[in-house]
Amino acid sequence: MLYDLPIRTYIDMLASSEPAPGGGATAALNGAQGAALVSMVCNLTIGREKYAEFEAEMMEIRKNSEELRALLTDLIDQDSTAFDGVMAAYRMPKTTPEEKIARSAAIQEGLKLATYVPLRTLEACVAVLELAPAVIAKGNFNAASDGGAGMLAAHAGMMTAALNVRINLNAIKDEAFVVESESLMNALLAQGDAARQDAWAIASERLGM
């Protein structure tokens, strides 16, 4: 499991010539870090008398952010596994016409899975972004910058995931699948950008930027 590796080992693997882990795993990791920072702000707010009026809301946000953190952490490995599947399909024999047909079909199926995983990552990152405005606005002021950092990490994850969706769609021949995936991606990007703008405005005002 990639998430069980020491940070230095993971970074070294990322810098190597191996194609995985790559941008997809990074997208999920960014999202997971964003979710973790949202949880951090909640944990630094819950139980503080000064923020008692927001206790219930922070507890609900923490529940959601922890679920998203677990999902995004799993998606780190899921992305690498999906990419490995595409590479395995490309290595299939292509000597006979039958082998060429089977290889082409396997590549297309592999690319669809490799598109689904970053789409799921994108969706989860957007969900993290939508938690950020309330956390930054109502959470412990001393952790407002951490909430902002979580928002930026989730946004980086969202945009990186979108890049991975796009590059896979460029190679997929199923036009209906491409159209449906593009539509979902664009809707999620608009949703995430709106949440990021709200969160950034709140962070800027609260921190006097």
Q: Region 118-143: what's the mean pLDDT?
A: 97
Q: What rounded mean pLDDT belongs to the chain?
A: 94
Please tell me which residue, 139 or 9, carries the higher pLDDT value: 139
- How many whole angstroms separate alpha carbon 198 and alpha carbon 119? 23
pLDDT over 70 for what percent of the chain?
100
pLDDT score recorded for residue 10: 83
Q: Region 193-202: what's the mean pLDDT?
A: 97
pLDDT-wise least confident of 12-21, 158-167, 170-179: 12-21
pLDDT over 90 for what percent of the chain?
77
- How many whole angstroms separate alpha carbon 114 and alpha carbon 127? 21
Degrees, nearest 5: CA angle 129-152-180: 50
CATH of 21-207, one of 3.10.129.10, 3.40.720.10, 1.20.120.680, 1.10.10.10: 1.20.120.680
Considering all CA atoms of the chain, what is the largest pairwise distance in Å, rounded to the nearest integer?
A: 73
pLDDT score recorded for residue 181: 97
Q: Give the pLDDT band of residue 21 (cuts 50, 70, 90).
A: confident
- How many whole angstroms separate alpha carbon 72 and alpha carbon 29? 7
pLDDT score recorded for residue 23: 85
Q: Give the pLDDT band of residue 56 (cuts 50, 70, 90).
A: very high
> What are 63-120's pLDDT values in tens digits?
999 999 999 999 998 888 888 888 899 899 988 999 899 999 999 999 999 999 999 9
Residue 44 in this model has a pLDDT that exceeds 90: yes
Q: Over the chain, what HEC string results?
A: CHHHCCHHHHHHHHHCCCCCCCHHHHHHHHHHHHHHHHHHHHHCCCCCHHHHHHHHHHHHHHHHHHHHHHHHHHHHHHHHHHHHHHHHHHCCCCCCHHHHHHHHHHHHHHHHHHHHHHHHHHHHHHHHHHHHHHHHHHCCHHHHHHHHHHHHHHHHHHHHHHHHHHHHHCCCCCHHHHHHHHHHHHHHHHHHHHHHHHHHHHHHHHHCC
Residue 5 in this model has a pLDDT that exceeds 90: no
- How many whole angstroms separate alpha carbon 168 and alpha carbon 97? 25
Q: Could you state, in order of their start, the residue ranges of all structural domains in the chain? A: 21-207
CB burial string 100-112: b at 16+ within 10 A, e below: eeebeebbbebbb
